[in-house]
Amino acid sequence: MSESPATLSLEPIGYIRTGKQVKFQALHQPSEQQPERNVLELVPGHNYEQALRDLAGFSRVWLIWWFHRNTTWRPQVIPPRGPAQRRGVFATRSPHRPNPLGLTPVQLIAIEGRRLILGECDLVEGTPVFDLKPYVPAYDSFPDARAGWIEEVDALTRQAPQFKVHYAPTATAQAEWLVAHWQIDFRARLEELLARDPTPHRTRRIRRRSADQLEIGCGAWRAFFRVEGFDVTVTALDAGFPLRFLRDPQRVGLPDCAAQVAFLAVWPEAPRAV
Ligand SMILES: C[S@@+](CC[C@H](N)C(=O)[O-])C[C@H]1O[C@@H](n2cnc3c(N)ncnc32)[C@H](O)[C@@H]1O
C-alpha cells in the first residue's frame, strides 16, 4: 500500500483578472447584486481548451484557489461579522488557514477560448486558481443545513438596527476627487461595514482614536468617522500610509501608491487633524 504523502505540489491552472488590487475591495462572499465581470485566464500549453468542453452548459462553477497574499494562519480568528469573538478557523471562511485554499461559487457567463468570463467574485487581482468544477444544485445545495454560529450572528444582526451612514462635506469632496482622478471608490464597502456595526473591531480594522472619533482601514486608505445614536458620519478620508513610506524606494508595490501621494498633496494636514 502506498503511503499518504506529507506534502503535495499543485500548479495553478490559471489566474483571475478582477482589477481589484487590495483585499478590502473584494467582497467577503460574492454578491449577485453587483453586475460585475471578471476573467479567469487559463495557462496556455496544457490542453485546457479541451478540458473546458461541456462546461458552457453550467451557469455556475466552483473556483478552488489560493489566498496567495497571506503568509500566516491562526487556529482561532475573529471573523468580520458579529461581535469581536474568536472562532476556530475551520468554523469560518477566514483567508488565514493552514492551507490557504479558497472556495467560491461564481456565475459562468461565457467561455472564450482559454478565458472564462465570470460574474462577481471575492478574489483579488492575480489570484492563482487550482481547479474548476461545475456547480450542481442537486449535489451542492442544502438550503436546510444548519449554519452554526453564523445563523446566531445573522439572527442578532437582523434584530439590530442598521446604522445610517452620512458623509461630511470634506469626506464627500475627497471621495469624489478619488473617483474623478483615480477611479478609486470604496464607499459601498465602507458603508456596508459601518451600517452593520461601527464599533471597534480588529478584523474590521475599526479603532477608536479619541472619545468621539473612530477610524476604519479601507484597504490602502482609511476613513475617520463619529457615531451619534444610529447615525454614522464619515468626517474625512485619508491615505493609509505616511508620505515617508510612500516615497521610500525600499517599499515598492504599496497599493494605490501614486494616488496616495497625490491625495496627500491636496489634503496634507486636515484629515489627520480632524
Ligand atoms: C472571507 S474570504 C472567503 C473566500 C471564499 N469564499 C471561501 O470561503 O473560501 C474572501 C476575502 O479574501 C480576501 N482575498 C481575496 N483574494 C485573496 C488572495 N489572493 N489572497 C489573500 N486574500 C484574498 C478578500 O479580502 C476577500 O474579501
> Which grid coordinates belong to 72?
500566516
Residue 245 dihedral angles phi and psi, to the nearest 5°: -75, -45
> Which grid coordinates belong to 82?
458579529
The CATH number that applies at residue 189 is 3.30.2310.20
Choose one of 117, 152, 187: the last residue of a domain. Answer: 152
Tell me: do 29 and 141 sit in the same domain.
yes
Is residue 274 in some structural domain?
no
26 in ligand 1 pocket by Cβ < 6 Å? Answer: yes
- Statement: residue 143 has pLDDT above 90: yes
C-alpha span between 99 and 109 (Å, rounded) = 29
Ligand 1 site-directed mutation target among 64, 122, 189, most atoms within 8 Å of CB: 122
Q: Which long-range contacts (CB under 8 A, 24 or more apart) does 151-160 make?
A: 153/81, 153/82, 153/83, 156/82, 157/81, 157/82, 157/196, 160/197
pLDDT in tens, 74-90: 999 988 877 888 999 99
Inter-residue contact 204 to 216 (CB < 8 Å): yes
Tell me: do 99 and 209 sit in the same domain.
no
Is residue 2 in some structural domain?
no
* 3-state SS, residue 221: strand
133 in ligand 1 pocket by Cβ < 6 Å? Answer: no
Tell me: do 138 and 171 sit in the same domain.
no
Tell me: do 20 and 141 sit in the same domain.
yes
Which band of pLDDT confidence, cut at 50, 70 and 90, is reported for residue 230?
very high
Which band of pLDDT confidence, cut at 50, 70 and 90, is reported for residue 157?
confident
CA 27 to ligand 1 center in whole angstroms:
8
Q: How big is the CA angle at 218 (ends 191 and 268), to the nearest 5 degrees?
A: 110
> Which grid coordinates belong to 243?
508620505
Which band of pLDDT confidence, cut at 50, 70 and 90, is reported for residue 192?
confident
Percentage of the chain with pLDDT > 70? 92
67 in ligand 1 pocket by Cβ < 6 Å? Answer: yes
* Mean pLDDT value of segment 126-132: 97
27 in ligand 1 pocket by Cβ < 6 Å? Answer: yes
Is residue 132 in some structural domain?
yes
Is residue 4 in some structural domain?
no
Which band of pLDDT confidence, cut at 50, 70 and 90, is reported for residue 273?
very low
Tell me: do 21 and 116 sit in the same domain.
yes
Calculate the alpha carbon distances from 24 to 27, 63, 140, 268 in Å. 7, 20, 28, 24
C-alpha span between 264 and 197 (Å, rounded) = 29
256 in ligand 1 pocket by Cβ < 6 Å? Answer: no
Tell me: do 175 and 141 sit in the same domain.
no
**pLDDT value of residue 31:** 58
Number of domains in the chain: 2
Tell me: do 250 and 175 sit in the same domain.
yes
Domain range for 180 = 164-267
C-alpha span between 260 and 243 (Å, rounded) = 8
Tell me: do 182 and 106 sit in the same domain.
no
Is residue 171 in some structural domain?
yes
**Range among 67-81, 94-108, 239-253 rated most confident:** 94-108
* 3-state SS, residue 208: strand
User: Can you spell out the DSSP letters for 103-161?
Assistant: EEEEEEEEEETTEEEE------TT-EEEEEEE--HHHH--TT---HHHHHHHHHHHHSP
30 in ligand 1 pocket by Cβ < 6 Å? Answer: no
Tell me: do 119 and 61 sit in the same domain.
yes
> Which grid coordinates belong to 32?
449577485
Is residue 258 in some structural domain?
yes
Is residue 80 in some structural domain?
yes
CA 90 to ligand 1 center in whole angstroms:
15
Inter-residue contact 75 to 38 (CB < 8 Å): no
Is residue 235 in some structural domain?
yes
C-alpha span between 54 and 124 (Å, rounded) = 27
Choose one of 126, 152, 178: the last residue of a domain. Answer: 152
Atom 20 in ligand 1: residue holding the nearest Cα: 67
C-alpha span between 72 and 223 (Å, rounded) = 27
> Which grid coordinates belong to 70?
497571506
pLDDT in tens, 243-272: 888 999 888 878 899 999 999 999 987 555
Ligand 1 site-directed mutation target among 21, 67, 140, most atoms within 8 Å of CB: 67
CA 53 to ligand 1 center in whole angstroms:
28
Strands 128-134 and 87-88: unpaired
C-alpha span between 85 and 201 (Å, rounded) = 10
Tell me: do 137 and 238 sit in the same domain.
no
Axis crossing angle, helix 257-266 with helix 169-182, rounded to the nearest 10 = 140
The CATH number that applies at residue 76 is 2.40.30.70
Tell me: do 147 and 172 sit in the same domain.
no
**Which amino acid is located at 5 in the chain?**
P
Tell me: do 19 and 119 sit in the same domain.
yes
Choose one of 91, 119, 152: the last residue of a domain. Answer: 152
**pLDDT value of residue 237:** 96
29 in ligand 1 pocket by Cβ < 6 Å? Answer: yes
